[in-house]
Chain A
Amino acid sequence: MKAIKIFTIAALILSLGACKKGFLDVEPITTVTEENFYKTPKDAYTALVGCYDGMQIVWTEGVSLPVAAEVMSDNAFGGTGNSDGFGYQMLDEFDKSRSPADQDLFGGNWVLYYKALFRCNTLIAKMDQIQWGTDAQLRKTYESEARYIRAYLLFDMVRLWGNIPLITVPTSENIPQSNPEAVYKQIAEDLKFASENMLVTSYTAQPVAEHGRATKYASEALLGRVYLFYTGYYAKTDLAGVVTKPQALAYLEDVITNGGYGLVENFANLWPAASPTTYAGEDNKETVFAIKYTYTSDYNGNRDGNYWMVMTGMREFSFAPYGNGWGGQTVNPKLWNAYASTDTRRSASIISIAGENIPFTNQKGQREYTGYYGKKYSPMLGADGKPLPDTYGNPNFQIAQFQDYVVIRYADVLLMAAELGSPNAQTYFDRVRQRAYLSAFTPLALTTDNLFQERRLEFALEGIRYYDLLRQGVPKAAQTIAESVSLLNGGAPVTKTISAGNITTTQGLQQIPYTQITLSNGTLKQNAGW
C-alpha cells in the first residue's frame, strides 16, 4: 500500500511540467516579427524608412558606384595606395588578370543591392494587408516611394552588371539572369507608377523636414535618365514599350515647368569643398534627388554615412579645406584640360595640386598620381584641422563623411530635355552654360557633340560620365576611354594602358561576383571577358 501511495505522489510530481500550460511557449522580446508587423500606416512608414536605409548602405562594402563609374570613365584612374592591391586597376582597365584574386570585387554590393531590393519588395507585397484607414493617398505615396527606390536600385545594378536576376517579389529560388529589357520594363513601370501616384508637390511647397524623400519630380527626372541610357546603350527607340520619346520629354518638361527647381547661381556653391563659406547647402533648389548621409556611422553597426568619399580624397595628405583620403580616383589630366580657363566649373570640380599650390608630398604613397584630385566629393577638414566628422565628435573619418550624394541635379534635367528635343532646347542648354561661365559666357550652338561635351564638364566626377559614354555605343565609349599614358606609381613613372579591346569584350560591364555564381551552381552566367 505504501508503495502505491508513493508511486501516486511521485507520478504527480513527475508530470508537474505538463500541468504548466504554455511552459514551452516563449516570445521574442527585442524583435518584432513579420506576423505582427506591416499592419498599421506607422509600420508602413517605418518599413519605408527601412527601404531608404537599404539604398543608403549599398556602397558600404565592395566598391562604390559613384567612384567606380568615374574610374571606369575617361575622367579618372583607379589610383589607390602604391602598396595596395590592384582591384581598382582591374576595374579601370576591364582586365581580370590585373588582380586575379579579386573575384568578388563587387560581391558586397551585389548582396546589399539585393537586400535593399528585398526590403522594397517586401513592403510592396504587404501593401494590401496594411490597414490604411481613410487616407487614400497615403498608400499611394508609400508604394510610389518604395517603387522609386526599387527602380533606382535596379537601374544601378543593370547598368553595372548588365545581366541580373530580376526580383520583384521576395523569393529564395535560384533565379536566372533576366533579359535586360525585362529589367528596364520593370524600372519604367515603377517610375511611371510613382510619377502618376505621388502628390503633386513642388520643391518650394515641400516641407523642409521631408527633403530627401522621393517625389513625383524625382521619378520623372530619373525616368528621363533611364530612357536615355536604355535607348542609347541598347539602340532602342523606346523604353521597353513603356515610355516613348515624347513621353520621356513630357516628364522632363513637367519637372522644369512645375517642379519648382532652379539652378544655384554659382556653380561652386553646389560643392562644399569648392565653397567652404558660401555652400548652398544640402537639398538646395537644384537637388532633384539625393541619397542622404549623416555623420552617425560607427563600427558597431550604424551605417548612415558616406563611405565612399574617403576614396576620392588626396592620398594620406590633407591641406585645408581638403581632408585626407585614399586617392582612389586620380583625375585624368584630360578632364582638367577639357575645360576652358574661363569655365568656373574647372576649379569647382577638380583640385589641381600645382594650380592651388598644394604642397603635396605623398607621391610615394600614391599609385597613378596625376596631380589632380576630385573636389566635388572631396573629404574636408574642420576649423580645427581635423577631419570634418570630428566636428560632430565622430573620429571615424573613413565612414562618417556626411555629404549627400546628389543623384540628379536640375541642370541634368535641363540638359536631358534639351537632348530629347525640347522646343526650348537651346535655352535650357544656354542656362546651364551661362551659370558655368558667368560673365565669360559666349553662346554655343546645341549639337550632339556639344551637348555631350557640356554634360562631361557639368557632371564631371558625379558618376554620370561613364554612362553618357556607354549610351553613345560601346565602340564609341571604348575609343574615348582607351589610352596609354605615363603616370607616377609611388613617384616612379609607369605606362598605364587601358585597351579599347577590353571594354568592347566586356561591353563595359563588370564582373558578376564569383561567389554568387558558385552559390547558384552555374545558374548565373559570368559576363563576357570576366
Chain B
Amino acid sequence: MNGMKKYLNINRNSAFLLLFLTLLSFSEALFAQQRQISGKVTSADGPLPGAVVKIKGKSGGTGTNNDGAFVLSAQTGDILVISSIGYKTKEVPVSTGNTVNVVLADDNQNLDEVVVVGYGVQQKKLVTGATVQVKGETLQKQSTTNALQGLQGQSPGVQITSTSGQPGEGLKVTIRGLGTIGNSGPLYVVDGVLTGDITYLNSADIESIDVLKDAASAAIYGSQAANGVILVTTRTGKRGQSGQITFDAYAGVQNVPKKIDMLNSQQYASIMNEAAINGGKQPIFTNGQIAALGEGTNWMDQMFTDNALTQNYALGASGASEASVYSLGLSYTGQAGVVGGKSLSNYERYNFRINTEHNFYKDIIKIGQHLTYSDIQTNGIGVGNIYNNTLRGAFNTSPFVPVYDANGNFFDNSGSSWFPGEANPYALMVLTNQNKRTTQRLLGDIYMVIEPIKGLKFRTSLGMDYNNADSRSFTPLYQLSTYAFTSTTKASQSMDKGKSFIFDNLLSYQFKVKNDHAFEVLAGSSAYQADGSSIFGTNTNLIFNDLDHAWLTNATNKDGTGINIGGRPIPSDRRMSYFGRINYNYKEKYLLNATFRADGSSRFSAANRWGYFPSISAGWVATNEKFLEGQKGWLDFLKVRASWGQVGNQNIPAFQYLAPVNLAYTNYTFGDKEGALIPGAYQSRISNPNIKWETSEQANIGFDANLLKSKLTINFDWYNKTTKDWLLSAPILATAGADAPFINGGNVENKGVELAVTYRSNIGDFNYSVGVNGAYNKNKVVNIPTADQTIHGGTGVLYDNSLEFYRAQSGFPIGYFWGLKSAGIFQNEAEVQNYRSAAGKVIQPTALPGDARFTDINGDGVIDNNDRTMVGNPNPDYTFGITLSGDYKGFDFSVVASGVAGNDIVQSYRNQTSQFSNYTTAVLDRWHGEGTSNTVPRVTETPVSYATFSDLYIQKGDFLRISNITLGYDLGKIFKKSYLKQVRLYAAALNVYTFTKYNGMDPEIGYGGLPSTNSNGESIVQDAYASGIDVGYYPRPRTFMFGANFKF
C-alpha cells in the first residue's frame, strides 16, 4: 500500500501542474473584452456535476464542480452550450448579467442512448436485435483483472466461465448455449478490429462492451459471428468535453476459499490396508505402525499460497479542443497466483492507450486513431488435462512423501519403500515450472471519415492486431522419484509473432423522405489478412543453473540429440467480405432492418469459398401509437421486436481441404552408422475437399419495456438457434490410418428465453437499484451424419487410459455424460446372487459386497456398453445474475451475484489406475461392511466399481456465487475543491461466497477440451465441446481489496 500512496502524491502534484498550465493559457484570453460568467447547472434531481459548459464556435470550455457550479470567461453575445450525458443539451445566450443558471431537462429515459452495433452505432430505442450493453464503469467496479470476468452476471444469456484460476488465463464465453463442437468463443471486435481475445485490455480503457446475441445483430459480421459477437469500444474523448484526469487504484490479497481435504497419513494407511484386505491380501500396516504415522504431508497446504497480491493502477486523461478529441490511458495490473505464489504463477500487464480524432475542413473530414499497446508478462503452472496439471499431482501423491530432506533439499522419493514412483508434487511444481513469457500486443486503427454532405459518410480504416510473444523455460537437474528425474539441465526459448491487417471501407447515407420515413443505408467491404511465424529452440547442459540465465547461448551441449530447433510460418489467413445494411423507420414507430454479407475465406477450397449471410429484423414501438399515449406514467416505453438471420463460422485450421504429407520426425536408419537419419514422409491426414462454412440460423422475438416512470425496465427475449454443418474433427476409427479430417458435422439446436428486470428508485437521498437477470437454455443435438449418429469423446480424460464418457449424439445435449446408472451398493453376497435378469441370470456374478450395483438397462443380464445411457448433462438449464446497488449521500455499495442451475459435474481427482494414489476424505464414507454405505463403493486396489464410467463420478453443479461486494465513499463532498471532482475510496470483496452442494474446490469448471498437437505439429483442441469435467482445477481466489478513484 506504500506504493499506492506514492502514486497518489505524484498524481496530485501533476494535477496541480496541469491546473497551473491551464490557467496560464486562460490568462491570454483576458486581454479581450472578456468577463467572468459564473453559474450553476441543475437538473430535476439537483446540482449537476461534470456538465460541460462551452462557448459556441470557440475552443475551450469548462466543467461544473460537485455543486454544479462553473466559472467561464465570455462576452456579451456569446452563446453558452451546456451539455451532459443523459440530459438534453441547452444553449443560453450571454446577456449583460454575470450569472447564468441553467436547468437541464432529462433526456427521455436514456432512450437516446446509443449502443454500438456492427460498423456503427444505433439509438437504443430503435434497435431491433437482441443486444446487451455493459458500460466500462460497471466493469471497472468489478475490480477484475480480466474485463470479461466483470461481465459475469450482468448479461443474460451470456455464460462466462473461468478456464482456470491462474492469473491471466482466459475465459470461456458461451452466448445462448453451446452451438458448435469446435471453438465456441464469440468474435471480439475492438474498435472495429477483429480479434480472438481481449484479455490484454484493462477495464479502465473500456467505454462499453456490447454483446450481439441474435443472428440479426451479428449478421453484419457474417463470417465469424456464429457464436455471437462482442463489441468493445475503448474510451475516447468527446466533443466539447473539458479536460479530465482520472486515477484509479486498487490492491488486495487473495486466498483460496476452499481447499479439498485429502487423507492424512493415518487415514491413508488405513484405507490402503482395507484395499489390500478387500483384494484378499494381508494388511500392509499394523495398527501400531499406523498409530505411529502422524498426519504426514498435507499437499494442499504446500501447494497453496496465502495472501497473494493483486493490484491495479490506471491513469487516464481525456478531453477535447476545438479540432480534436483525445483520450489517453496508462495502467498496470499485477496478479499473483494462489497456487505457488508470485514466482510460479503470476500475471503482470502494462497498458498504453491513445485514442484521438481530429477534424478538418469544418468537420467534412475526420481522421482519428485507436491504439492500445499491452506488455504482458506471465508465468504459470500446468493447468488443463490430467497430464499437464500441477494440482492434480498433489491430489494423487501420498501423505508419506516428505517435502524436504534432512538437508533442507527437496525430498527424493526414489528410495521409498512405499512407492518410489511418486514424486514430491510441490518440488515438481517449483522445479518444472520455471518459465517466463512476455507478450507485446498492439491493436488499433487509423481511420478517416468524409462527410461531404450531411448524412452521407464515407469511412475508411486500416486496423492492425500485432502480437509478439517470447517464452523461455529452464529445467534444472533433479531426481524426485524413479520416474521424475532429469540428467541434464535444459533451456528452451521460443518466439512467436503474428499480425493481422483489416482494411474496411464503408459508405453510409442517412436521409429522410417526407420527414416521417427515416432511412440509413450502408455498404461496405472488408479485407482481412493475418500472417505470422514462430521459432523455437532447446538445448542442454547450461553454464548457469537458473531461469535468468536460461538462454540458448549458455547451453554447452553440441550433440544433436539434446538440441531441438524449428521454425515455421503461421499459415496466411485471408478473408474478403462485402456487406450492406438498410435501416428504416416510420416515425420511430415501425422499424425495419435488413443486412446481407458475403464472405470469401482462404480456409476453404475455391469451390466452397464463399458464404452468404442474410438477416432481417423488425420492431414496433407500441408506445408511439396514439392509443397508448395516455398510458405514459405506467407504460413509458414498449418495443416489440423480431428477427431472423444466418451467420457463419470458419474456425478450422488452414488447409483442411488438402491432404498434407508430413516429413517432420519421419526417419529411419539403414546401414551401420548410428544416428544417420534418412528422411521419410507419409500422408498424415485424410483430406476433405468438400469442407465448407458452418451456418448458424437464429430467430428471436423479444420486447423492451420501461414502466412506472421508467423505474422498472424489462427486457425479454425468446430465441431458437440452430447451428448447421458444424465444423468438427470427429475421432475416426484407427483403421483409417491417419488423422481425422474436419467435416461438416450436423445440427445442434439451442432454444431458450432471457429475462432482465431492473428496478431503480429512491427513498429520500437513498437511491437504489435491483437487477435480476436469468436465462433458460435447452440444448439438443439434432442430427449427426455419421453411421452411429455420434461424435465420440476423447479417451484418457479422467485418469490414465480411461475410456470415452462424453459424446455428442443425436437427440441428446451436446457433450452429455454417457455411462452406467448405479443403483446402490451390494450390501451382502445374497444381494449379489439375487440381482438377476428376468431370465434368471445373475447380472454381476463377479461382484462382491461393497461393489456398485449397476442397472441392466437393456435387461440382457449383462452389464456392458449397451447399458450406458445419459447419466448427466454438463450444460446448465439456467444461468442467472443478480445486481444490487445503492447510494446514500457520499456512500455507494453494490453486490453482484451469479450462478447456474441444472448442470452436472464429473469429478475425477484420483488416478484410478494407480493403486497408491491418495483419496479425498469423501472416501471415509465408503462401504466397509453391511449397512455402512449405499452410495460410496468399497475401496479396492484396482478400480472395480470405477473402471467403467458411471453416475458414481457425477455431482450436481448448481451454484450461486456472491462474486462481488463493494462499499465506497466519495470524499469529494468533504474536500469541496474545484479541481477535485471525485475522491472515492472503496473496499471490495471478490468471490465472497459460493452456495453449492458440489464438494470440489469450485463448481465453476471452465474445462476447455484436450489441447494436443497433431502429426503436423499444429496445436489443436480436441473436443472443445466437452464441459463440466473437474480433473483438478486451479481454483478461483477470494479477494479482499481496497481501492480509490480520483477525478480531477
User: Whole-angstrom distance from the CB of B683 to the nearest CB of chain A?
Assistant: 5
The answer to whether A427 has its CB under 8 Å from any CB of chain B is no
The answer to whether B105 has its CB under 8 Å from any CB of chain A is no
Are B574 and A26 in contact, CB atoms less than 8 angstroms apart? yes
Are A304 and B946 in contact, CB atoms less than 8 angstroms apart? no
Among B526, B668, B1017, point to the contact of A292 (Cβ < 8 A).
B668
User: Whole-angstrom distance from the CB of A440 to the nearest CB of chain B?
Assistant: 33
Are B734 and A516 in contact, CB atoms less than 8 angstroms apart? yes
Given contacts A6-B458, A365-B420, contact A300 B564 (CB under 8 A): yes
Chain A contacts for B660, CB-based, 8 A:
28, 31-34
Q: Complex formed: what's the CA distance from A103 to B421 in Å?
A: 23
Chain A contacts for B865, CB-based, 8 A:
517-518, 522
Q: Complex formed: what's the CA distance from A218 to B680 in Å?
A: 22
The answer to whether A174 has its CB under 8 Å from any CB of chain B is yes
| B801 (CB) vs chain A CBs: closest residue | A104
| B417 (CB) vs chain A CBs: closest residue | A364
Chain A contacts for B561, CB-based, 8 A:
295-298, 389, 392-394, 400
The answer to whether B913 has its CB under 8 Å from any CB of chain A is yes
The answer to whether B525 has its CB under 8 Å from any CB of chain A is yes
User: Whole-angstrom distance from the CB of A523 to the nearest CB of chain B?
Assistant: 9
Chain B contacts for A13, CB-based, 8 A:
460, 505
Q: Complex formed: what's the CA distance from A300 to B913 in Å?
A: 26
Chain B contacts for A292, CB-based, 8 A:
668-670
Q: Which of A70-86 contact B (CB under 8 A)?
A: 81, 83-86
Are B419 and A83 in contact, CB atoms less than 8 angstroms apart? yes
Are A208 and B421 in contact, CB atoms less than 8 angstroms apart? no
Given contacts A85-B914, A115-B737, A171-B735, contact A32 B661 (CB under 8 A): yes
The answer to whether B540 has its CB under 8 Å from any CB of chain A is yes
The answer to whether A334 has its CB under 8 Å from any CB of chain B is no
Are B414 and A316 in contact, CB atoms less than 8 angstroms apart? yes
Are B672 and A208 in contact, CB atoms less than 8 angstroms apart? yes
Are A101 and B913 in contact, CB atoms less than 8 angstroms apart? yes
The answer to whether B631 has its CB under 8 Å from any CB of chain A is no
Are B680 and A47 in contact, CB atoms less than 8 angstroms apart? yes
User: Whole-angstrom distance from the CB of A496 to the nearest CB of chain B?
Assistant: 13
Are B670 and A24 in contact, CB atoms less than 8 angstroms apart? no
Are A50 and B666 in contact, CB atoms less than 8 angstroms apart? yes
Chain A contacts for B676, CB-based, 8 A:
294
User: Whole-angstrom distance from the CB of A524 to the nearest CB of chain B?
Assistant: 8
Are A302 and B667 in contact, CB atoms less than 8 angstroms apart? yes
Are B679 and A28 in contact, CB atoms less than 8 angstroms apart? no
Are A110 and B525 in contact, CB atoms less than 8 angstroms apart? no
| B678 (CB) vs chain A CBs: closest residue | A49
The answer to whether B453 has its CB under 8 Å from any CB of chain A is yes
Are A103 and B803 in contact, CB atoms less than 8 angstroms apart? yes
Are A111 and B734 in contact, CB atoms less than 8 angstroms apart? yes
| A299 (CB) vs chain B CBs: closest residue | B564
The answer to whether A107 has its CB under 8 Å from any CB of chain B is yes
| A105 (CB) vs chain B CBs: closest residue | B801
Given contacts A6-B458, A23-B527, A33-B661, contact A208 B677 (CB under 8 A): no
Contact with A along B727-765 (1 / 0, CB 8 A): 000011111111000000000000000000000000000
The answer to whether A471 has its CB under 8 Å from any CB of chain B is no
Among B557, B666, B678, B801, point to the contact of A101 (Cβ < 8 A).
B801
Q: Complex formed: what's the CA distance from A513 to B802 in Å?
A: 12
Given contacts A83-B915, A519-B792, A521-B787, contact A213 B670 (CB under 8 A): yes
Q: Which of B841-868 contact A (CB under 8 A)?
A: 846, 865
Given contacts A101-B913, A103-B801, contact A118 B681 (CB under 8 A): no
Contact with B along A1-37 (1 / 0, CB 8 A): 0110011001101111110100111101111111101
Chain A contacts for B1016, CB-based, 8 A:
31
Among A20, A25, A111, A213, point to the contact of B602 (Cβ < 8 A).
A25
Chain B contacts for A302, CB-based, 8 A:
665, 667
Are B571 and A98 in contact, CB atoms less than 8 angstroms apart? no
Contact with A along B561-576 (1 / 0, CB 8 A): 1101000110111111
Chain B contacts for A520, CB-based, 8 A:
733
Given contacts A17-B525, A56-B668, A300-B538, contact A170 B737 (CB under 8 A): yes
Are B600 and A24 in contact, CB atoms less than 8 angstroms apart? yes
Among B572, B576, B682, B792, point to the contact of A26 (Cβ < 8 A).
B572
The answer to whether B885 has its CB under 8 Å from any CB of chain A is no
Q: Complex formed: what's the CA distance from A107 to B731 in Å?
A: 14
Chain A contacts for B559, CB-based, 8 A:
392-394
Are A100 and B602 in contact, CB atoms less than 8 angstroms apart? no
Chain A contacts for B85, CB-based, 8 A:
none
Q: Complex formed: what's the CA distance from A118 to B669 in Å?
A: 21
Given contacts A17-B576, A118-B736, A294-B675, contact A521 B943 (CB under 8 A): no
Are B732 and A209 in contact, CB atoms less than 8 angstroms apart? no
Q: Complex formed: what's the CA distance from A209 to B672 in Å?
A: 7
Q: Complex formed: what's the CA distance from A365 to B414 in Å?
A: 10
Are A386 and B662 in contact, CB atoms less than 8 angstroms apart? no
The answer to whether B203 has its CB under 8 Å from any CB of chain A is no
The answer to whether B658 has its CB under 8 Å from any CB of chain A is yes
Chain B contacts for A98, CB-based, 8 A:
942
Contact with B along A145-159 (1 / 0, CB 8 A): 000000000000000
Are A114 and B525 in contact, CB atoms less than 8 angstroms apart? no
Are A50 and B803 in contact, CB atoms less than 8 angstroms apart? no
Report which residue of A7, A83, A104, A111 has the largest number of chain B beta carbons within 10 angstroms of its beta carbon: A83
User: Whole-angstrom distance from the CB of B547 to the nearest CB of chain A?
Assistant: 20
Chain B contacts for A110, CB-based, 8 A:
734
| A101 (CB) vs chain B CBs: closest residue | B947
Q: Complex formed: what's the CA distance from A293 to B670 in Å?
A: 9
Are A52 and B668 in contact, CB atoms less than 8 angstroms apart? yes
Chain B contacts for A2, CB-based, 8 A:
452-453
The answer to whether A129 has its CB under 8 Å from any CB of chain B is no
Are A118 and B942 in contact, CB atoms less than 8 angstroms apart? no
Q: Complex formed: what's the CA distance from A292 to B664 in Å?
A: 19
Contact with B along A371-387 (1 / 0, CB 8 A): 00000000000000010
Are B540 and A34 in contact, CB atoms less than 8 angstroms apart? no
Chain B contacts for A303, CB-based, 8 A:
665
Chain B contacts for A122, CB-based, 8 A:
682-683
User: Whole-angstrom distance from the CB of B864 to the nearest CB of chain A?
Assistant: 9
Contact with A along B615-651 (1 / 0, CB 8 A): 0000000000000000000000000000000000000
Are A24 and B609 in contact, CB atoms less than 8 angstroms apart? yes
Are A294 and B670 in contact, CB atoms less than 8 angstroms apart? no
Are A14 and B667 in contact, CB atoms less than 8 angstroms apart? no
User: Whole-angstrom distance from the CB of B352 to the nearest CB of chain A?
Assistant: 31
Are A515 and B803 in contact, CB atoms less than 8 angstroms apart? yes
Are A25 and B606 in contact, CB atoms less than 8 angstroms apart? yes
Among A23, A101, A522, point to the contact of B574 (Cβ < 8 A).
A23
Contact stretch, chosen from B178-186, B482-490, B1020-1028? B482-490
The answer to whether A46 has its CB under 8 Å from any CB of chain B is yes
User: Whole-angstrom distance from the CB of A109 to the nearest CB of chain B?
Assistant: 10
| A170 (CB) vs chain B CBs: closest residue | B737
The answer to whether B944 has its CB under 8 Å from any CB of chain A is yes
Are B946 and A37 in contact, CB atoms less than 8 angstroms apart? no
Q: Which 3 pairs across A and B sit closest by C-beta, in order of nearness?
A: A118-B737, A393-B559, A49-B680
- Apart from A28-B660, A212-B671, A519-B734, list 16 A-B contacts with CB within 8 A: A6-B450, A6-B456, A24-B606, A25-B606, A32-B661, A33-B659, A43-B681, A49-B666, A50-B680, A100-B947, A171-B735, A296-B677, A393-B561, A402-B674, A519-B733, A522-B865
30 contacts between A and B (CB under 8 A): A3-B452, A6-B458, A13-B460, A13-B505, A23-B576, A24-B606, A32-B660, A32-B661, A35-B659, A49-B678, A83-B420, A83-B916, A100-B942, A101-B947, A105-B801, A110-B734, A115-B738, A118-B736, A119-B683, A119-B737, A170-B736, A174-B787, A209-B672, A211-B672, A212-B668, A212-B671, A292-B670, A294-B674, A304-B667, A393-B540
**Residues of A that sit less than 8 Å from B by CB:** 2-3, 6-7, 10-11, 13-18, 20, 23-26, 28-35, 37, 43, 46-54, 56, 81, 83-87, 97-105, 107, 110-111, 114-115, 117-119, 121-122, 165, 167, 170-172, 174-175, 208-213, 281-283, 292-298, 300-304, 316, 364-365, 386, 389-390, 392-395, 400, 402, 513-522
